[in-house]
Structure 1
Amino acid sequence: MSRELRLRIISGIILAGVVLAATWYGGLSFRVLAAAIGLLVYYEWSTITDLHGRDPQGNALGWLGLVLIAGATLAGESVYSLEVLVVFVAIAAVMVAMRRKSWWLPGGIFYAGLTAITLAEIRDDDLRGFVLMLFIFATVWATDIFAYFVGRAIKGPKLAPRISPGKTWSGAIGGAIAAVIAGTAVVWSFFSAEGLWIPVLALLLSICSQIGDLFESFVKRRFTVKDSSHLIPGHGGVMDRVDGLIFACFAAFLLAIVISLTMSGETMSLGGVLLGV
């Protein structure tokens, strides 16, 4: 076993342990994790897109917004954090339009800020939130792992050769099938869910996860960057590890909001809404 592979395995185990422990404890522990991921994602985004060099004033605004969102996330003030996100994205968009600067600024604030908010909101503090978070982890991780191994074994037509030459349709399909199995198994381990909703939801989040992976590949290719950073030994950066998770969380959060709007006055957590339990 090479030194690089050994380092990758060790750091991966440590990361998984920290994430799962924070997910288990929930509450402040997980909100700290969510806030930290949001801040690190913005750091890597601003570094990749060179916001500190292209637009230092705008980048300072972005950092202020992310710090406020992280603080609201830690305090459990989801409504306030969403309001801050909307305000700072709007201000950044106006600044960019007036000064003809980079549109990567409002994009980064939105991407990183919503990452922290959705992670915290999905986990919440009840059993349903815990199961929903495990469900999303299972679908995303199963997608990543099996897309890699199935793609290498079967090969075949490329999924998006201009964005990520290594990804294949066989890998994408294999990852999606694995995600459905893994995600459904997690939910059925806790609740006796009936019907096809959970498998369909797992398939949807798997697709969103793969879109998120392709999106980050597009951003890195646009700026000719191999890794989002070198913060994680053997793995690259935080964005390299959570790109699929981010889009899956975005999709779950927005879907839960849409479903909630159709419910007649009943208040439920995101986990209760999405899992139907």
Structure 2
Amino acid sequence: MKKPATFRGASELKLRIISGVVLAAIALFVAWAGGALIVLFWGAAAIGLLVEWWKVTKRSVAWLVPGMIYAGVAFASPVLLRLDAAWGLPALLWLFAIVWGSDVFAYICGRLIGGPKLWPRVSPKKTWAGFIGGTAFAIAAGSMIAWLAGVAWILPVSIVSFFAATASQGGDLLESSIKRSFGVKDSGSLIPGHGGLMDRLDGFVAAGALALAVGVWRGGVAHAGQGLLVW
């Protein structure tokens, strides 16, 4: 007997939550450990992203270089931010708070409030309410992480948090646009309830690129975490 749609939806949501919590715990442990473990972890993730990108884009040679850049950013942003001995871990925790906060609360606000769609042609389920709610929570979460880490001047961090949350949700839309253009629903099935690595890390790659750019611009490669958070 075929299961009712509501039952399937509840089961999928439960699976999504469980796998999300497990992945978050692993990512947090790797961030705390740093060193060779973070290089191996994000190196494997980058390879997986590139493989998925190659499959999603139907093995097009024209899309290979953008895919390599995409995977390279996914590797470089957490690894280089974590290199900062003093501020690397807080910077990574800030990045996680931005990406996870905007993702989770965009979903919650979108479901609870509804309203006008953000970009229905690309992602029919995303709403302006979700975008605003997710961005607002991400700003609050990012600012809280910075404050707990001992940052004295929070306003610049809040501003960067706004742009990073916007980038995170924009990365989600970009990935949806790429999949839609190639007629693909999910980038893979590696992560239960989420799909593939691209489906899970789309916002992280975009927000990470912005965070790394700001951090290196202000603090150099060796102090990118400080450059990102300390103003």
1:255 lines up with 2:178 in the alignment: no
1:172 lines up with 2:148 in the alignment: no
| Identical pairs, percent | 41
Classify the secondary structure of the residue corresponding to 1:127.
Answer: coil
Asked if structure 2 preserves the Cα contact closer than 8 Å seen for 1:27 and 1:125, the reply is no
Match of 2:160 in 1: 201
1:117 lines up with 2:82 in the alignment: no
Deviation at 1:112, TM superposition (A): 0.9
Deviation at 1:3, TM superposition (A): 4.0
Superimposed CA distance per residue, residues 43-91 of structure 1 (whole angstroms, 9 cap, x where no aligned partner) = 110011121xx5xxxxxxxxxxxxxxxxxxxxxxxxxxxxxxxxxxxxx
Distance in 2 (alpha carbons) for counterparts of 1:195 and 1:6 = 36
1:38 lines up with 2:20 in the alignment: no
Distance in 1 (alpha carbons) for counterparts of 2:209 and 2:216 = 11
Superimposed CA distance per residue, residues 138-191 of structure 1 (whole angstroms, 9 cap, x where no aligned partner) = 011110011111112221221111111111111111111000110111111111
1:6-155 matches, cutoff 5 A? 6-51=14-59, 54=60, 102-124=61-83, 126-155=85-114
Classify the secondary structure of the residue corresponding to 1:118.
Answer: helix
User: Where in structure 1 do 4 or more consecutive aligned residues deviate above 4 Å?
Assistant: none
Distance in 2 (alpha carbons) for counterparts of 1:44 and 1:25 = 27
Distance in 1 (alpha carbons) for counterparts of 2:153 and 2:62 = 45
Distance in 1 (alpha carbons) for counterparts of 2:215 and 2:44 = 24
RMSD: 1.8
The one-letter amino acid of 1:259's match is R
Unaligned stretches of 5+ residues in structure 1: 55-101, 262-266
Deviation at 1:210, TM superposition (A): 0.8
Unaligned stretches of 5+ residues in structure 2: 1-6
TM normalised by structure 2 equals: 0.90
Distance in 1 (alpha carbons) for counterparts of 2:154 and 2:102 = 22
Distance 1:181 1:231, change over 3 A: same
Match of 2:13 in 1: 5
Q: Which moved more, 1:193-202 or 1:135-144?
A: 193-202
The one-letter amino acid of 1:269's match is H
Deviation at 1:260, TM superposition (A): 4.4
Q: Which has the higher contact order (CA 8 A, sep 6+)?
A: 2
The one-letter amino acid of 1:275's match is L
Distance in 1 (alpha carbons) for counterparts of 2:49 and 2:141 = 27
The one-letter amino acid of 2:24's match is A
Distance in 2 (alpha carbons) for counterparts of 1:254 and 1:136 = 13
Deviation at 1:6, TM superposition (A): 3.5
Classify the secondary structure of the residue corresponding to 2:131.
Answer: helix
Asked if structure 1 preserves the Cα contact closer than 8 Å seen for 2:216 and 2:223, the reply is no
Asked if structure 2 preserves the Cα contact closer than 8 Å seen for 1:142 and 1:182, the reply is yes
Deviation at 1:30, TM superposition (A): 1.0
Deviation at 1:107, TM superposition (A): 1.0
Classify the secondary structure of the residue corresponding to 1:159.
Answer: strand
Residue 147 of structure 2, aligned match among 179, 183, 188:
188
Aligned length: 223
